[in-house]
Amino acid sequence: MEHWMKYFLDHPFWFTLTAACLVWYSTITVYVAIRGVFDIRGMLKRLQADAPDANEDAAG
């Protein structure tokens, strides 16, 4: 514990930023991974409903 305190006190900015990166990345990955699945399912459902008619074929 003591040496971690020393690392922090030596370079508080970079030590905190590195720790924050690891914590943020590991938590956000799990959260985004779960919520992202629902986003993909919703997006594909809406796109299926928006499928173009065979007659409707013109674009700019």
Partner 1 sequence: MNMVAAFSIPIDGSIVGLYLIATMVAGIMVRKYVGKVEHFLMAGREMNVYLGIASLAATEFGIVTCMSQAQNGYAYGFAGSTPGICQAVAMMLIGLTGFCIKPLRDSGVTTIPEMFEKRFGPRIRWAAGVVIVLGGLLNMGMFLRMGGDFLVNIVGYSAANADPSAGPAMQFITTHALELTMTVLLLAVAVYTILGGMLSVLVTDFLQFVVMSVGLIAVTVLILVNVGWDKLVTTVDTKYGSGAFNPFANPLLGWSYVLFQILLNTAATLTWQTTIQRLLASKDTRTGRRIFTGTSFFFVCRFLIPGLWGMAALAMLAPSDVGDKTLLAMPKFLATVVPVGLMGLLVAAMLAADMSTDSSYMLTWGSVIYNDILAPFRKNRPPVSEKRGILYNRLIVALIGVFLLIYGLWYEMKGNLWDYLTITGTIYLASMSVLLVACCYWKRANNWGAAAAIVVGAIIPVAFLVLEKNWMVTNAAKKEVSWLSENGITSAIAGLAAFGCAIAAMIVGSLLKPKSASPSAAEPAA
Question: Interface with partner 1 by CB under 8 A: which residues?
Answer: 3, 7, 10-11, 13-15, 17-18, 20-22, 24-26, 28-29, 31-33, 35-36, 38-40, 42-44, 46-48, 50-52, 57-60
Nearer to partner 1, 1 or 48 (CB): 48
d(CA 43, CA 49) in angstroms, rounded, equals 10
Sign, Cα dihedral of 23, 24, 25, 28: positive
To partner 1, the closest distance from the beta carbon of 48 in angstroms equals: 7
The token pair that represents 3 in the structure block:
């040496």
To partner 1, the closest distance from the beta carbon of 28 in angstroms equals: 8
CB 5 within 8 A of CB 13: no
